[in-house]
Each structure stands twice: as structure tokens, then as C-alpha cells.
Chains A and B, each alone.
Chain A
């Protein structure tokens, strides 16, 4: 027995190392330390923060914070749908709290992107590009791209929260910096990056034009963000962009051009940064889901469901009369001859279409001819108008309930399934023609630079200079015969503050600009549809409670 025990102990001692090995074996993913192998893996890592950036800009909370807190868009409650915990009522009525999940989204979305840029930056700096078969210049470009993209993420944060942590590594938990420090950080990052960036780079990647345009955004809002106006620098960079110092861009002659970039291989010369899409691969899906009706797929020829959520704020009251708010009423701020105001319809089988809105009676797609609508087949509603024609109206109210319904008024919570004009500036082209989800998300276009420069001119009192710049873009929106009525150059007196704010609304409708523009123009606290004037300054979002809870170094900002 003694021997047996000895043998057993020996056996155990021999087996012990292999019997106690608990290293993890990974199959489907890659252990981080073993990730970078070649150019392919570098590019795949470099593009991950961009992919996140698209989500950050065009999927949900950031868009909602910019547009639903402003005067152009609303997510009404439509009967049993869309109460959503009162979120939309609070965003529209400027009654949000630090607990609001969308405000948290405004925090976490950009910061996740910043974290990803930081990881890639740390990784890239350690890599020997030559060994991976790449040039050192590529390394410099990649690093500059990550710094620029990171600055773009910081622009969300300074705009939403002002005092935010500047984090540039992957280890340190950091407290807040002042708005001035954040501003300076963004400015330095962009200025230092521009030389290493290419001119007119790939779609979906930052280049010199993109970085310079971010400087324009930064300087244009400097007064609000830091208390110091920097319109001169704004104008200087904007002029440089327009003059081609950062790459070659031009205003698209067609009002649809910047938004149909990507379709059939078209790339609009106006788009400085656009995020490309491809059906089944990378889709513009949130925008479709948030705005389209459940039945939209029948008129737009696709197979997607949607949420019937966001639409334009109404221009008309329950009697059909125009409201007299100074802000909002976006549909009716377009003049009737504005090409953009036309109802959306496809006009050929080649991907041509017109109009930026869905309004009135909806019809089935004309699949026989491959474009347009089949006026014999009415699309019906499924909720309040179940079995009855679906007709979008520029009003919000419980029309389906008759007088007792209308007595509830026109409010965020009194919508119906057909409430509101639907926004289709980003065109949903027919699936059957393989054009669905092929248009890019237009992040920065030259028009923005024109308008920024115009604003600088206007603010310094150079109204003709501003008018000229604005007209250079606006001309494409009108038929030649009526253009003279609309030209600011021809009618300089018409270009007032109010007009400028309306013109910003028309030009950048739904492009995630509106809240920032209203704040810069001092209009964010004003009244509009179903929203009273703010009792206090609501131009800064509070630091979200979840972020405060997660980071002990954080303190609330002025809005907390």
C-alpha cells in the first residue's frame, strides 16, 4: 500500500502541470495582443471608429437630441404607439432630466468613439508599418485621421455638455475640463492633423477638407461654447475651403445631389464627408425606421418595417390654419415653388426622383412601370385609419375621434398614425431596382461652409456678401423663372435675422444642425408648436446621471 501511494503521488506530480492548465482557448475572435498582422488588419481596425461614427451621427440619440429638442421635428404619440415613457414629450417641451436615456446617449455615443480612436491610436503608434508592408506616410495619415475623427466626436460633447473630460489614453479615468480647454484641444488636434491628411480622400474617411470644415464648425460656435467669438478664424478657414486649399469641392447644381450621393456610383462634389451605405451591408436603417410609416414599404417599394415615429412639426392647427409661430412650421417655410417642397416621387426607372416630403394620400408603388405611384391603389392605414386611406397631414390631432378627440388639442401626445409631413430628403429609392439604402449619409457638405461664411459676413454687417454666398447655394432650389423673387442678392432687405434662421432650417433640415443653429442664434429658448418659451437656459444638457455614477471624478455642469 505504501508503494501504491508513492506511485500515485509520483503520477500526480507528473500530471499536475497539464492537469491545472486553465488558459483560455479562443476560436471565433482574436486575442487583442495577436490582432495586428498586416495591412488588412490595420485598415479593419482603423475603420472601426468610423463605423461607430456613422452610428453616432446617424442612428438615434445624437440626431434626436439635435432635432427633437428643436423646432423642426417631433416624435408624436400616435394613439397607443409612441408614448415611450414620455421621452418625446420631455425632449420637445425642454423638460429633460439627467436620467433621460437620450441624453446619456448623447454622452456615451461620442465617448465610445473617442475610446476607440484612443485604442487605435495607441495600437498604431506601436506598430512598425514597414514590417506590415506599409509606408510611414500611411501611418502619419492614419494617426491624423484618428485624431480628426476623435475631434469630431468631441464636437458633439462640447456642443451638448460644454464641460467634459478630455481623454486621450486607454487607462486614465479623467475629470472634466473647461469648455475653453476642450475647445483648444479640438482646435489643436485639427490643426495638427490637417498636414498629414490627404486632399479629397475616400468617401467615409476624414481628409483635409473634412478636418478644415470641423474647424469652421468649431469657430462658428465659439462664442456660445467658450464665450469668445472666433468668426474671423471661421471665415478664414471657410474661405480657404471654398478656394480649394483643402481639396476640390463645388456646390452641387442639383438640389438632390448631396443626398443622392452614393446612388448608382454618383459622388456629389459638394460632399466633404459622407458616410457610404450599401444594401444588406451597411444600411441607413435608423433614419428609415424612425420616420416611415408601417405601410411606407408599399409605396416606397421595399421590404422593411418601421416605427412611424418622427415627422415635421405641424404648420397648421386643427382647423387647418397656419400657426403664427416664428419658429418651426418647417414645411410651410418653404415657398410653394421651392423644388424641395414637392411631394416625393420617383420619376424614372433610372433612380430619378423629386421632392423632399411625403404628404397627402399615399399610393402603392407602381411596380408595373418600375417608378412612381399606382394611383389606382391607395395605401390604407392600420391604426386609427385601419382600412381607410393613409393621408399624411401637416397637423397633429386626434381627428379620428371626432370633436372629443380634437378637444385634446394639438400636442405631442395627441398624434395619429397619419400625423405630420414625412421627411424623405434622404431618398428611399426602390428596392426592386437595387437602389434602396445606397444613398450616403451627408455629414459635411460645402453648403455648410458657404452658410457659415455667409453667417460670418452677416454678423459683421456685410449683408450683400452673405446674400451672395447663400444664393450661390440656394439658386438650385427654384425654377429659373421664379428665382429672382427668392434671391437675397436681388432682395437684400429680405435677409433678416428671422430669415437667416428660417433659411438655415430649410437648407439643413434634418441634417442634425438645428439645435446648435437655434442656440447660436439665441432662439432655442423661444416658443414654437406645443412648446412654451423656456423658463431657464436649456441650451446645455445636464451631465447624465449614469455618467456621474460611473465616474467619481465627474461633476455636474451648469444644467445639472
Chain B
């Protein structure tokens, strides 16, 4: 089995072959894209060009209809008209030799009182209605090109006009659009189907219908003789008018009353990502996306919203995919995501109750559009190179310093673990389309990645299908999502990179004398890392699925109810096989060890919600209420065996091993658990005159994990906003386009801890002999049950300002927040007895985090060919433990993160009342004595007595040394376009924090015997001769600023009957880093959670990633 992997690894055996391989793929992708484009790239089909097209046409005497048809061909244009208005049978003739189309048309049509206008590449012919030409903001100037001549309007009696209003871009229907007759009080709204019906009082007076809808540009349409007027509304250009997904519904961005950020797919960070969340890194203020092993295709990304606040109840946000809470992002292809929305503050998140305190991330996948079938192909290839390697002694230097014996070889262990010809590819194809009543979208992707290390691989493929179906004339709507995804994962072992640093570089990798063929490396915590990775298989087969089905009943135009049923599942089959040549097999005199573990997670969701909305004068009211039931099931079993007759069968024949035959060996286990969440919730949105906005929500939620009397909790939220730009002072302001002040308050909870903690349970412990002398499993109380265990509650306050300035060129928001965690759940020391275990999982402690977030966009330049947009996202966050005590429990502190062997220097951080989370706790460095022994300041006070750290240092000499949690996070995005090219330059940095550099502690001191060392041991740290202790000497500033992403794209304009869009792009990630941190890269250090800023010893390589992609839409 490992041979199989090795073959994969060996398949592309030299870099030259690899380059050729890449080139082949690239050429193939380009060829595929271009073959559909017809290479008709040069033609400019912009609307304004149409009227100036030179026409050469000789029709002779013919019908107006025929003349128009011939003009369509000659000018490559399309006319739209009604034969009721245009006298199509009238005989006309056109003689044109190179005249512009507009002149030809004027000459041809004006005698019949027909005007024309260019709308969306079509030329619409219409009655010149006297005074009012059809006006649309973007094209009105063309209408004036005609020479309108006033003719009397048709004298019809009162008339009913009907029609449908849709979104111009997506084609989606728009309910609730206001339709009024200009200059009158007559008005209606579109229903849930986007349909309206309005009585026009005096058609003869050339009435005009005004269609207006928040977030869209208002449109005025003269009624003329039409009785059916369908309108497509265009969204306002400014980002402020974006529609934002919030819990259980959507709202317009401009109506938000709380801190919510949406990143649309077009704004995602481009390139090859191992997790979709990487696509919003640095895009959302207050959201910290990090990954200490970003290049490992199997490692998930850490995400933290507004700092860490919880001790034991989890600090990860709630992920909601297409409305189903508790989703798994592994189940979504990055190209399927339409937008990612983050509910940052408590008032927005409170509608999700007990799981929402760490923020809520709503992922919306793309759905189809009515109309032509659209086919999208989106793919990339990628390659990683190592960006930085540990600066260790060369074999020569190692020997020169006499660290250990020369074992003959000159081995670069690190390089041996690197797969230079790593390669990734991701192909994605989506088909969507539909009719008025049915919309569908199906997508599939395939991704394959061999990672930078010689073991990690990932291969995944999946399909996603969604549909929307209307029935009974729109009374019922059905929609659903179905996904299935398989991922084959092969894992590495980060520990090998520690071995690569510390191993004697003169040890040969291979030893022909050894039975395994590898060099045997003996000693404490050392092993042959190459053997470790190659002589084993360690991976998993993951199968993910989601099926959700929704039925919506539109009871009234403004009242509907919706039922959702969803099932999400993950099925993991862990596979492990350690061959007979693995070190553990040799050490234990075994021939191979195999293990299979199957774990399944199945979540069921049932939700029933109702919506009502109404507009009374300037009062806009929306009400939503609902019920939610979720259950989460988990079960697993594993079995293992060893001593196989051959390495060929491994875990595929677990019964073939001898190991489990021995008495007392078991080699199997199983477990199962279940959790339920039930909630009732409601929300009211009210706005007055688009000026005063208010939102209030309530969720009453229960979770089975809590104590019998404490299962239910209430989570209220309220927020309000005042649109200052509506004040007279700002009316017609040249500076302020939109300005809104927001205030919000919300209560949320946390429940991210293990199941059954509140329940008194008996569980099996070790073995003992029974009365018959047989070994039985003994049973005893499993836990300290805490019947009082209840919600960890968080109160959040947020004040924010949204603004759009200078003709909407500058936009953004500023938010300040304060979060207070109460009843924070932690394991607390309790007296034993009466308690059986010395820790009780209980509500104790309070935390707080506060911060300021800024998001600023500036469309700096926008000329015809060139545009430049820049964006700054900046965050300041500070989190602290206010108190780790309450009436009953009074300890006041807890030590965190015991540093590893050898030496076990103790705990690196302490959480204490009033102290910031992530504070380092240890000795204050006071230089060295004449023998090079580390000295520390007595009592932790500089300037007092210097004492020997290892011999005299005691608890009272420890003090706070620094903090590992970055206070500031800054990202700076720049997008430049020139003609068909676009360039995005994205910088990212974190500031004001410390990293405890364990590399310097463990491999940077000459006192560490027999291990290879950093060069620093003999330079920067040469004065230290004693062993490591936790002092601020090993603390370094973690501040960094890096060019995180550089993408160059080319989107040629293509005129082709099939090809709608083509984009080719190249991305480089992690170009350079400005930092003083002496470790590999500050981003390899975890900065989220409760123990941030500890630079681990097992560091996965930091890489620079190159990717090349193409996106084609047909």
C-alpha cells in the first residue's frame, strides 16, 4: 500500500518533466477556452457604438418590417417593437451608403411618429409620446438623439397595466417593488412572484410608472399603449445596496443595523486554497483567518471572530451552509460559493442562539438563473515551493562544533522530506439554467493535490445540484440542494520536520545493512523521518453529503411560510498501516500494524419559519418567526491488528494478523453519542422612511447537553440605525452619499463542549479481577456531573457607522465592539471528595473582548481603460479573562500549555483575572553568569537581584512577560485594471504580539546535547551555556507584513455566440514577508484560541504557492 503512494510520488521524477507536464496542462486549458471564443476578440459591442454603425443598404421599395429586418442584418443590431405602434406594412425604402445608423433610422421612422432608443444592445422602437421619452439613467442621452416630434397620444379610457419585475442581472423575481403612477398617489407593490397590476387613471395623459425598490436604481416607464410592462431593475452600483444574507432571510446592505460583512465570490482572494475560508482572509474586519500549516491540503483553517473569549466551550464560529446550521465546509467546492457572510456582532448572530457567540458564518452557494443554460468551466493548477527553511548547522559545522560523531553521510533531512515536484489541479464544471418556474444548477469538481511534503496528498471530487420549482401558480415553491463529496486524504506527520532540524546531519538515510534498508536512529524521541513517512499509510476516506429540501407556501403576497428538512453527514474511514519496515514494527518485533476506524456524523435539521411584511406609508415592517429542531449523531468503531504475514494485505485483511490472538489484547472499540438543539425564534424589522431602522429578535433555545433544569435559554437582540444622510444638512451633499449610524446589543451563547457532562454516568475504567479471578472491566462514576451546567452567555455591544462618500467612490464602515462573556465554562478545581474528580466542568468566570474594526474601499481611479480600487481592512482586538472565579470557585488563574519534553520547562502562559488572554508567564531574563548560566531577576522585577534560573528560580520569580495574541490585523488590497488586464495586490499583516520561539529554546542553545542546532546557537545565543528556561529572552515580536497574494488576470472581451466570458489568471501567494521573527514565518504560529503565539517545534513547511487558472462561461 505504501508502495502505491511511493509510485505516485515517483511518477513525475524530475523537475524538467514536471515543467513539461505543467505546460501541457496549461496549453490544453487555453486551447479549450479559446476554441469556444471564435477569436472574435476585437469587436466592441458597447451600446453607444451601435447608433454610429455605418450602414450601406439599398432596399428598394419594401415593407417597413422588411426594411427593419434588412437593417438588423446590415448593422448587426436588433430591433424591438410592437406592430401596434409601428406601421410595419407601410411601404418604405432605405438608401444608405455609409451613413450612420441613427441617421438612417431618423429618416426612416420619424415620419410615422416613431422614436427609438438603445436599451441593452437592442434598439427599441416606440411611439414618440409627445413630451416624455423613455428614460433610463444610463441610456437617456441616446433617446435625445432622435428628433422627437410631438404627436397626440392615443385617447384610451382607464386601463389596467400588469407586468413582472425582475432583477436585471440575475433574472430573479423581485417581490415588494413599489410601482406608482408618477405624479399621483396611485401605487401598488409587486407580489411574491414579482407581479403587479395597476390601474392607470388617464392613459391619454401619457402616464409614467415609477418602479422603485431599495437597493435598486428606480426606473420610470411611460405606459404608452402597452398593457403589459415587464421591468428589469438594475441594482445600484454602490456596494451599499448589496443584498446580504442574514439569519433566516436576507436584507439589503443599506438596511443593516448590525455589523455584518458579506464577501462576494468576485471579491474572494484568488488562487488555490486548501479551505474556502482562506478566500476571505483579511477581507472581513474582526475576522482572523489563520492556518499554521497552510500548505497542508488536509488541514482545516482556523477562524476566529472578534478574539477568543471562551475557555472550554469553543472559539470557532457557527458555519451555516445554505441555511443549514452546523455545516461542514469540507463539503463545498470553493467555486460553488457565491458569497460568505459573517455576522460579527451579537445582535445579528443572536438569532442563532446558543452556538452563535463566536460569530456566524453564512455560506451561500451559487444557484441557477432562469434563462439560457449557462455552462462554466473553472480550473486551476498549482505548485508549492518552500518559502523558508530552518537555518541549521551544515554537517560540516555540526562536526566542527563536535556535537556528535561523524556517521559518514551528509544528509539534508529537511530536503529529503520535501516533494519538489508537488502539483495540484482543480477542475470545475457547472451547468445552470431554467425557465420561469424551474431553475436548476449542477456542478461537479475534481481536485488533486500532492503536497510539499512527501506524504500528504488529497484527492477529492464532488457534485452539487440545486433546484427551485414553483407550483400552483406560485402558491408553492420547492427548492433543494443535494451534494455528495468524496475526499481521499493522506496525512503527514508534522513531527518529522522537528526531526529534520535536530537529527545528526551525518546519519545516512539508508543503511543497506539494516533489515529495513533505513538507518536505525536510536535514542529518546528520535527516528528516521523518511522511514517514518514512507513506511506507512495514514489517511482517511471522507464521504460528505447534504440533502436539504424546502417547501414554501406563499399564502398571501406578503405572507409566506417555509418548511426545511435537511440531512448532513460525514462518513470517515481512517486507514493506517505501518509496514514491517516501519520503525515501530522493528522496535516491537512485529510485521506490520493495521488499523481501521469508521466514524460517522449525521445531523438532521427541521425548520419551520414564517414571514410577513407590509408597508404602510413610510413604515416598512417585516416579521419572521420560526421553530428549529436539530439533532447531531455520532458513532464510531475501530479495530486494529498487527503481525501480518505480508505487507500486501494490511488493513484490508485485519483478521490476517496474529497480534490480536494473544490473551488480553482487544484491538477494537466503539462509541456513540447524540445531541439535540431545539429553538423557537422570531424577528421584527421596522424602518421608517428609510431613515430610522430597527431590528429586534428573540431566540428561545434548548440543548440536551445542559443540566436538567437549565436546558433552555433566552437570547434577545436589538439594534437600530439612523440614516444621517437623510438629514437636510446632507441633502444634495457633494460629499456624503450615505451615512448611517448603527447601535446594537445582542446576547448569544456557547455550547461547544462534549456531550453528557451534566449527567451522572457510570463508565468502564481499567481491569481488575472478579471473585472468580477473571479480569473484568471495572465500572465507576465517569465524571463529576454538573446538573447546574448552563449556557455560557455573551453580551455584545456594537456601535458602527456605514458611509459612502464622494459620489460613492469611498465607502466603508467603522465598528467598535465590546463583548462580555458571562458564566464562561471551564474546568475548575473542586474539593475531592465530595467530588470524585478534581475538576468540575462548570460555569465560572467572565471574559471580555473589545475592539475596533475598519473597512474602507476607495474606487480611486476609473477612466475608460484604467481603474484602481483599494481596500483596507483593519482590526484592533484585545481579549482578556476578567475573572476566573465566582461565589463558589475562587482560584483566579489557570496555567496553560505545558512545554514539551525533553526538559519539560513548565507552563508557558497563564490566564488570570484581569489579564489578557495569551499572556506569557515565566522568568525575566537577566543575562548570564560567567559560566553562561541563564540568570533571572528575582521576584520577576528587573533591577533586583540576579539569580540562577535553574537552581534558584521559584514560583515567586515568575511574572508576565508578553502576549501572544496580535492586537492589530491589517490587510490592504489593491485592484488595478487596464483594458482586459487586472492585477490584484494583497498585503496582510498582524502586529503587536509576541511569539515564544521554541526553536530557539530547544535547538538554539548549545546545552542541548547530540542534536543539530540552529546557527543561532553559536551566534545570537552563543553566550548562553545552560539549558532552556521560560524567559522573555525567547520571546520575539511576531509583527509581520507580507505580500500575501499577487494575481494577474486577463479577461478578453469576446464576441461569440457561445462564449460569454473568459478569464485567465496567475496567482502567487506569500511573496515576501517583512518581520523580525527569527523562526520560519510568523504565520506558522497559531494565533487563535487561548494559547496564541507559541512557536511550535513541529512546523509544517511554509510555502510560496503558484497557481494558474482559467474561468470560462458559455
Contact = CB atoms under 8 A, between A and B. Distances in A.
B958 to A, nearest CB: 10
Given A119-B836, A547-B831, A44 B1007 contact: no
A169 B834 contact: yes
Nearest to B766: A51
A81 B344 CA distance: 47
A276 B769 CA distance: 8
A283 B1015 CA distance: 44
B1009 A384 contact: yes
**Listed residue (A8, A116, A308, A386) with the most chain B CB atoms within 10 angstroms of its CB:** A386
B833 interface: yes
Contacts, number: 233
A172 interface: yes
Given A35-B779, A386-B523, A550-B831, A89 B951 contact: yes
Contact of A29 (B678, B756, B773, B902): B756
A439 B260 CA distance: 66
Interface in A379-412: 380, 382-384, 386-387
Contacts of A89: 951
B551 to A, nearest CB: 14
A29 B761 contact: yes
Interface string B765-798: 1111111010111111110010000000000000
Contacts of B930: none
A33 B1008 CA distance: 55
A303 interface: yes
Contacts of A50: 768, 778
B769 A382 contact: no
B495 to A, nearest CB: 15
A89 B953 CA distance: 12
Interface string A63-89: 000000000000000011111111001
Nearest to A24: B704
B901 interface: yes
A14 interface: no
Contact of A282 (B627, B768, B829): B768
B231 to A, nearest CB: 29
Interface stretch (B107-115, B658-666, B714-722): B658-666
Contacts of A20: 678, 702
Contact of A22 (B664, B711, B768): B711
Contacts of A82: 902-903
Interface in B815-846: 829-838
B555 A386 contact: no
B780, B955, B1011, B1027: most-surrounded residue (chain A CB, <10 A): B780
A47 B769 contact: yes
A524 B906 CA distance: 29
B123 interface: no
Contacts of A386: 404-405, 522-523, 1010
Interface stretch (B42-50, B201-209, B669-677): B669-677
Contact of B904 (A33, A83, A169): A83
Interface in B529-556: 555-556
B672 A47 contact: no
B82 to A, nearest CB: 40
A289 to B, nearest CB: 13
Contacts of B635: 27
A118 B773 contact: no
Given A79-B1009, A303-B588, A281 B775 contact: yes
Contact of A97 (B833, B951, B954): B954
Contacts of B890: 549, 552
B28 interface: no
A112 B773 contact: no
| Interface-central residue, A26, A55, A384, A552, by most chain B CB under 10 Å | A26
Nearest to B521: A382
A28 B768 contact: no
Contacts of B670: 28
A24 B759 contact: yes
Contact of A202 (B702, B773, B835): B773
B832 A294 contact: no
B759 A26 contact: yes
A449 B639 CA distance: 48
Contact of B523 (A84, A294, A550): A294
Contacts of B1008: 80
A387 B836 contact: no
Given A51-B768, A81-B903, A24 B705 contact: yes
A48 B767 CA distance: 8
A551 interface: yes
Given A80-B1007, A84-B904, A202-B769, A294 B662 contact: no
A481 interface: no
Interface size class of B (residues with CB under 8 A): 35 or more
A80 B761 contact: no
A26 B671 CA distance: 10
A171 B834 contact: yes
B72 to A, nearest CB: 51
A172 B831 CA distance: 10
A493 interface: no
A143 B526 CA distance: 50
Interface in A312-357: none
A468 B199 CA distance: 123
Most buried by A among B760, B769, B904: B769
B766 A282 contact: yes
B139 interface: no
Interface string B395-420: 00000000011000000000000000
A62 B618 CA distance: 77
Contact of A80 (B561, B712, B902): B902
Contacts of A281: 664, 767, 775
B760 A32 contact: yes
Contacts of B762: 29-32, 35, 45
Contacts of A549: 829, 890-891
B833 A282 contact: no
A48 B779 contact: yes
B587 interface: yes
B688 interface: no
Contact of A47 (B768, B782, B889): B768
Nearest to B705: A24
A552 B830 CA distance: 10
Nearest to B840: A550
Interface in A10-44: 12, 19-33, 35, 40-41, 43-44
Contacts of B779: 30, 35, 41, 44-45, 48
Contact of A43 (B760, B776, B889): B776
A527 interface: no
Nearest to A34: B762
Contact of B524 (A85, A294, A552): A294
B870 interface: no
Contacts of A165: 831
B171 interface: no
A40 B663 CA distance: 21
A4 B951 CA distance: 80
A27 B761 contact: no
Interface in B510-534: 522-524, 526
Given A48-B779, A383-B1010, A112 B838 contact: yes
Contacts of A384: 1009-1010
State the 3 A-B residue pairs at the shortest beta-carbon distance, nearest first.
Answer: A382-B523, A280-B664, A48-B780
Given A25-B674, A413-B950, 18 more contacts: A1-B559, A22-B704, A22-B711, A24-B674, A27-B635, A27-B673, A29-B762, A31-B761, A45-B762, A51-B767, A81-B903, A85-B906, A86-B951, A112-B833, A386-B404, A386-B405, A552-B890, A553-B831
27 contacts: A1-B559, A19-B627, A24-B674, A25-B674, A26-B759, A27-B674, A28-B671, A28-B763, A29-B763, A30-B761, A31-B759, A40-B776, A43-B771, A44-B779, A48-B768, A51-B765, A80-B1008, A83-B904, A111-B832, A112-B832, A116-B780, A119-B780, A281-B767, A294-B522, A303-B588, A380-B522, A383-B1009
